[in-house]
Amino acid sequence: MEHRENKVWFITGASRGLGRIWTEAALERGDLVAATARKTEDLSKLKDKYGDRVLTLQLDVTNAEQVKEVVTRAHSYFGRLDIVLNNAGYPLVGTIEDGNAEDIRALYETNVLGPVTVIQAALPLLREQGYGHILGTSSNLGHMALPILGYYCSSKWAFEAIYESLAMEVSQFGINVTIVEPGAYATEFGSEQIGKLFTGNEVYHDFKTKFMEGMRGMEKGNPAATPQALFKVVDAENPPLRFNLGSHNLPGLKAVYAERLATWEAWDEISRSAQ
């Protein structure tokens, strides 16, 4: 991406959590932001504080027509888009056995198809510019799965595959792609899902209780510590495809991949016999 002193961001899910923190931090450093959320009233204070440097727009990423309209409007308002950040998303809490098709479909509409729709709306504009940086908020759970969060994890595994493929397809146009992978942070993310945790098959009650105890005891990062790291990524001449956010991800990932390699190697003779 060309270095620009003041970058123009397009951010989904900008009303709360990391999305809100990154939106405000970008504005504080002098950047321009098209901040989108399902409810524009959640963004009203941004407009009061930052004036014309922020464009607040209502956006439901599952509405394809609205996505195209909003992306085009943001591009027209600022004259360009330097960074497109797919941040909107939510978890689905429950065991695999308890999951129902309606909830799983809704999760994928927001966490997978929503970001794809934003990317497809933005790409012609970025390609015409000859530069751009498409980011997406995934998770350290984009590489590993936990019980109770299996469907959420699966949406992030799909998200990561799409972004990895995208990176290979659009580099020829001068467009960079980065997957941001936060660990556990002290945000309200997922709080509205907790009520669903103890619905479903009673045989999992004790398992869920133990899982929640472990989650509560987990050390969580400070969301306010994240913006400067993110800025280093978007300001880099050669930004990474994958970027861990937080100090706990890498040790866990090393352990997960070491276990996978060990299993593949242990079964390799039998695997090769099937060639």
Task: Tell me the pLDDT tens digit for each residue of 130-151.
Answer: 999 999 999 999 999 999 999 9
Query: Residue 197: its pLDDT value, please?
Result: 76
Mean predicted confidence (pLDDT) in 81-108? 96
CATH number at residue 63: 3.40.50.720
Angle between helices 114-129 and 150-170 (to 10 degrees): 20
Mean predicted confidence (pLDDT) in 98-110? 96
Query: Residue 4: its pLDDT value, please?
Result: 57
pLDDT one-digit tens code per residue, 149-178: 999 999 999 999 999 999 999 999 999 999
Answer whether residue 3 is part of any domain: no
Query: Residue 213: its pLDDT value, please?
Result: 87
Answer whether residue 46 is part of any domain: yes
pTM as predicted: 0.94
Answer whether residue 210 is part of any domain: yes
Q: Is 152 a catalytic residue?
A: yes
Answer whether residue 243 is part of any domain: yes
Answer whether residue 1 is part of any domain: no
Answer whether residue 36 is part of any domain: yes
How many separate domains does the chain show? 1
The single residue of 156, 185, 204, 208 carrying the catalytic annotation is 156
What is the extent of the structural domain holding 195?
Answer: 8-273
Mean predicted confidence (pLDDT) in 214-222? 86
Q: Would you place residue 217 in the very low, low, confident or very high pLDDT band (cuts 50, 70, 90)?
A: confident
Residue whose tokens read 């497809």: 120
d(CA 180, CA 135): 7
Q: Is 138 a catalytic residue?
A: yes
Answer whether residue 2 is part of any domain: no
Q: Is 156 a catalytic residue?
A: yes
Query: Residue 1: its pLDDT value, please?
Result: 38
d(CA 82, CA 129): 9
The single residue of 7, 15, 138, 204 carrying the catalytic annotation is 138
Q: Is 50 exceeded by the pLDDT of residue 2?
A: no
Nearest-5° Cα angle at 190, 184 to 193: 140
As a whole number of angstroms, the longest Cα–Cα distance in the chain is 67
d(CA 101, CA 107): 10
- The alpha carbon of 228 is separated from its chain's Cα centroid by a whole number of angstroms, namely 17
Mean predicted confidence (pLDDT) in 206-227? 90
Q: Would you place residue 190 in the very low, low, confident or very high pLDDT band (cuts 50, 70, 90)?
A: low
Query: Residue 195: its pLDDT value, please?
Result: 61
Task: For the chain, state the CA radius of gyration.
Answer: 20
Percentage of the chain lying above the pLDDT 70 cut: 96
Number of H helices, E strands in the chain: 10, 7
Nearest-5° Cα angle at 84, 82 to 87: 150
pLDDT one-digit tens code per residue, 16-43: 999 999 999 999 999 999 999 999 888 9
Answer whether residue 150 is part of any domain: yes
Q: What is the mean pLDDT of the chain?
A: 94
The single residue of 152, 163, 185, 204 carrying the catalytic annotation is 152
